[in-house]
Amino acid sequence: MIWTLLIGLIVGVVAKALMPGKDPGGIIMTILLGIGGSFVGTWLGSVIGLYGRGQSAGFIASVIGAVIILWVYRKVSGKATA
Protein backbone atom coordinates (compact mmCIF):
# COMPACT_ATOMS: atom_id res chain seq x y z
CA MET A 1 0.00 0.00 0.00
CA ILE A 2 2.78 2.45 0.90
CA TRP A 3 4.68 1.43 -2.24
CA THR A 4 1.58 2.21 -4.36
CA LEU A 5 1.24 5.65 -2.76
CA LEU A 6 4.93 6.41 -3.28
CA ILE A 7 4.89 5.37 -6.94
CA GLY A 8 1.62 7.28 -7.43
CA LEU A 9 3.26 10.39 -6.00
CA ILE A 10 6.30 10.05 -8.26
CA VAL A 11 4.17 9.44 -11.36
CA GLY A 12 1.91 12.38 -10.48
CA VAL A 13 4.88 14.70 -9.95
CA VAL A 14 6.43 13.69 -13.28
CA ALA A 15 3.11 14.20 -15.09
CA LYS A 16 2.67 17.64 -13.54
CA ALA A 17 6.25 18.52 -14.52
CA LEU A 18 5.53 17.50 -18.12
CA MET A 19 2.31 19.53 -18.15
CA PRO A 20 2.99 22.54 -15.95
CA GLY A 21 0.07 24.68 -14.93
CA LYS A 22 -2.15 25.54 -12.02
CA ASP A 23 -3.96 22.43 -10.84
CA PRO A 24 -5.97 22.02 -7.65
CA GLY A 25 -4.90 19.91 -4.74
CA GLY A 26 -1.66 19.11 -3.09
CA ILE A 27 0.09 15.87 -2.37
CA ILE A 28 -3.10 13.79 -2.09
CA MET A 29 -4.36 14.88 -5.52
CA THR A 30 -0.91 14.27 -7.00
CA ILE A 31 -0.89 10.72 -5.59
CA LEU A 32 -4.40 10.10 -6.92
CA LEU A 33 -3.35 11.47 -10.32
CA GLY A 34 -0.45 9.01 -10.43
CA ILE A 35 -2.59 6.06 -9.38
CA GLY A 36 -5.28 7.04 -11.88
CA GLY A 37 -2.59 7.36 -14.54
CA SER A 38 -1.55 3.80 -13.87
CA PHE A 39 -5.11 2.60 -14.40
CA VAL A 40 -5.43 4.59 -17.62
CA GLY A 41 -2.02 3.36 -18.82
CA THR A 42 -2.96 -0.25 -18.08
CA TRP A 43 -6.30 0.10 -19.88
CA LEU A 44 -4.78 1.78 -22.94
CA GLY A 45 -1.95 -0.76 -23.03
CA SER A 46 -4.40 -3.66 -22.97
CA VAL A 47 -6.57 -2.05 -25.67
CA ILE A 48 -3.64 -1.69 -28.08
CA GLY A 49 -2.19 -5.09 -27.16
CA LEU A 50 0.85 -4.12 -25.08
CA TYR A 51 -0.36 -5.85 -21.93
CA GLY A 52 -2.00 -9.21 -21.46
CA ARG A 53 -4.62 -10.18 -18.93
CA GLY A 54 -3.42 -9.48 -15.38
CA GLN A 55 -0.46 -7.30 -16.40
CA SER A 56 -0.21 -3.71 -15.22
CA ALA A 57 1.32 -0.61 -16.75
CA GLY A 58 4.93 0.28 -16.25
CA PHE A 59 6.25 3.64 -15.14
CA ILE A 60 6.23 5.31 -18.57
CA ALA A 61 2.72 4.11 -19.42
CA SER A 62 1.54 5.34 -16.01
CA VAL A 63 3.00 8.78 -16.66
CA ILE A 64 1.34 8.87 -20.10
CA GLY A 65 -1.97 7.92 -18.45
CA ALA A 66 -1.55 10.68 -15.84
CA VAL A 67 -0.78 13.24 -18.56
CA ILE A 68 -3.96 12.16 -20.37
CA ILE A 69 -5.95 12.63 -17.17
CA LEU A 70 -4.46 16.12 -16.68
CA TRP A 71 -5.21 17.05 -20.30
CA VAL A 72 -8.83 15.86 -20.03
CA TYR A 73 -9.27 17.68 -16.70
CA ARG A 74 -8.01 20.93 -18.17
CA LYS A 75 -10.23 20.61 -21.25
CA VAL A 76 -13.32 19.85 -19.17
CA SER A 77 -12.66 22.53 -16.54
CA GLY A 78 -11.63 25.17 -19.08
CA LYS A 79 -8.27 25.78 -17.42
CA ALA A 80 -5.53 26.97 -19.74
CA THR A 81 -2.16 25.27 -19.79
CA ALA A 82 0.77 27.39 -18.78
The DSSP secondary-structure symbol of 2 reads H
Q: Is 6 domain-assigned?
A: yes
How close are the terminal C-alpha atoms of the chain, in Å?
33
pLDDT at 26: 78
Q: Is 26 domain-assigned?
A: yes
Q: Does the predicted model carry a pTM greater than 0.85? A: no
Per residue in 25-58, pLDDT (tens digit) is 778 888 888 888 888 888 888 888 887 887 777 8
Mean pLDDT, to the nearest integer, of 57-70?
A: 87
Q: Is 24 domain-assigned?
A: yes
pLDDT at 8: 83
Q: Is 32 domain-assigned?
A: yes
Q: Which residues span the domain enclosing 10?
A: 2-77
Number of domains in the chain: 1
Q: Is 82 domain-assigned?
A: no
Q: Is 71 domain-assigned?
A: yes
